[in-house]
Amino acid sequence: MLSSPAAAHRRLLAGSPSKGVALRGLLVGCAICLSGCVVRPAYYRIKVVDAQTGRGIPLVELQTTHEVRYVTDSAGVIAIDEPTLWGKQVYFHARSHGYELPADRFGFRGVRIQLEPDGKRVIQMRRLNIAERLYRVTGADIYRDSLLLGEPVPLEISTARGGVFGQDSVVNAIYQGRLYWFWGDTERADLPLGNFQVSGATSSLPAQGGLDPTLGVALDYFVGPRGFSRPMCPIQGPGAVWISGLMVLDRDGAQRMLCHYARMRDVSTRLEHGIALWNDRHDRFDKHTEFPLEAPLHPRGHPVELEIGGERWLYFANPYALIRVRARMRDVVDPSRYEAYTCLSRGARWPEDVEATAPSLERNERGTLIWAWKPDTATVDPKRWRKLVQLGAVAEDEGWMTLHDTETGDPVDVHGGSVSWNGYRNRWVMIALQSGGHSALGEVWYAESKHLHGPWSQARRIITHDRYSFYNVKQHPYFAKEDGRLIYLEGTYTTSFSGGDRPTPRYDYNQIMYRLDLADERLPHVE
């Protein structure tokens, strides 16, 4: 009569140490016992938690002295299967963006662990970030190690949903009672190329039975015949298609979802752009209106809808709200109807060679710079404003979007992000990416203002990355809790543009969710 796998395991381990180690390795590599039952391999379980909250920390790297690297899954768990290390003390260097362990007398930050089959260890790390990392939203094996250990997880799917291995830059909106998600370039398993014409998915809102955003997002992908995420904006012609300014127009209960599309030659050169309209019958965006390439204004970033003087307007923030249009179909599809909040003279364009030809500025008879909403006029974003200051065309104090670090007083140049009204702070809240800083595109900042158009003056760093990018950050106001005290935001985690050369397995080129507690006293408050 055959004994149980557990009894056999105990007898094997009761033998001599050398035989035990060898037989233990054999047992670990064996998936099926003689009676036909499945035997789970023996793992050493490590869980890395936030010392402040006790929650597991995703994206923590533990590396041995012989360069074997493990990365925690979205529950903060690592399952180690290393039979040759059983019974040995192993040192692991520990590192994680925005988290750390204390340094020893040699300056190393790590832990020494006696590895044994079915052993376990909890490691606490101190959080340096103000925001708390929660989980990876996209990609494969989000809870891989937890599932290997047989532990319950919020998302039961361990493989890649929609066949997705990586996704770039999210936009989303509530449409027809569901949350619609769209991303840019998307990677797959079976080819080094993927989907470059927008990917999409939907999820249920938490108030309608969807997953609690503290735990994850259950994405239901739009897929093609082979199960891979299919093109959602198949604009004909060469180049990748990107979308932005995702908006929903609602008139008398009839909704229409639109976006700005751009067919790109490279990251900075457009071949075509315009407005695409969601096709409910085919679940995709169809080209509606093509804009002239030279049109200075079009939807960008993430829209905010406001009522001004009895009319509904869409303000496009990225992160500053520099462009607006009336929230009606005939205006959204007409580039001449857009307005810019700018100090340039009405109808002016930004010169190609600003060193040779300065842009025309609008001032009143007293010489005061006039900032106003102007149609058919180029915007002045932070980069352009800095150039105007350098040229001596304006004074620094004539601007309204110059952020300064509340800790150091240094200027903070932001160029991507989103803005949302927050009931808890009773302010407009900006979450924005810094251009430059500790890492080229890896620093995320918090700011607030009484008014959507500013002034924006004080900022505090809430997320940092070491030689890694975390760009195109976006708030999710429909996930906010306690009247906005807890807000949720995500961004694209990638080595692109970072100067780093160590892509994180499974995490690289994917979306990561963070949570920020606006009761934190370190955040600036604008009176």
Give the model confidence (pLDDT) of 12-48 as tens digits.
334 444 444 444 444 444 445 545 565 667 899 999 9
Same domain membership, residue 523 and residue 418: yes
Q: Which residue has the tokens 């992908």?
A: 221
Domain assignment of residue 441, yes or no? yes
Closest-CA residue to 430 (of 263, 276, 315): 315
- Residue 278's Cβ-side half-sphere holds a number of Cα atoms within 13 Å equal to 20
In a domain, 470, yes or no: yes
Residue range 325-359, pLDDT digits in tens: 999 999 999 999 999 999 999 999 999 889 888 89
221 lies in some domain: no
Q: What is the pLDDT of residue 357?
A: 87
User: Please, are residues 446 and 514 in contact by the beta-carbon 8 Å criterion?
Assistant: no
Are 516 and 483 members of one domain? yes
Helix extents (H) in 326-381: 329-332
Say if residue 431 is in the same domain as residue 468: yes
Of 55, 57, 63, nearest to 80 by C-alpha is 63
pLDDT of residue 9: 38
pTM for this entry: 0.90
**The pLDDT of residue 391 is above 70:** yes
Question: Could you give the CA distance from residue 412 to residue 130 in angstroms, rounded to a whole number?
Answer: 17
CATH assignment at residue 51:
2.60.40.1120
In a domain, 423, yes or no: yes
Same domain, 47 and 111: yes
AA letter at 491: G
Q: How many Cβ atoms from other residues are within 10 Å of residue 335's Cβ?
A: 22
Q: Are 71 and 13 in a shared domain?
A: no
Amino acid residing at 139 = G
- Same-domain pairing of 526 and 496: yes
Average pLDDT score over the chain: 91
Domain-located, residue 526: yes
> In this structure, is residue 471 part of a structural domain?
yes
> Is 419 contained in some domain?
yes
Number of domains in the chain: 3
Q: What is the pLDDT of residues 417-448, one digit of tens each?
A: 999 999 999 999 999 999 877 777 789 999 99
Instruction: Check if the beta carbon of residue 86 is closer than 8 Å to that of residue 116.
Output: yes
Task: Name the 3-class secondary structure at 366.
Answer: coil
In a domain, 512, yes or no: yes
* pLDDT > 70 fraction of the chain, expressed in percent and rounded: 91
pLDDT single digits (tens) 34-86: 455 656 678 999 999 999 999 999 999 999 999 999 999 999 999 999 999 99
Helices (H), 345-400: 382-391
Residues 10 and 121 in one domain: no
Domain coverage including residue 87: 43-128
The pLDDT, as a whole number, for residue 497 is: 81
Closest listed residue to residue 370, CA positions, set 395, 348, 341? 341
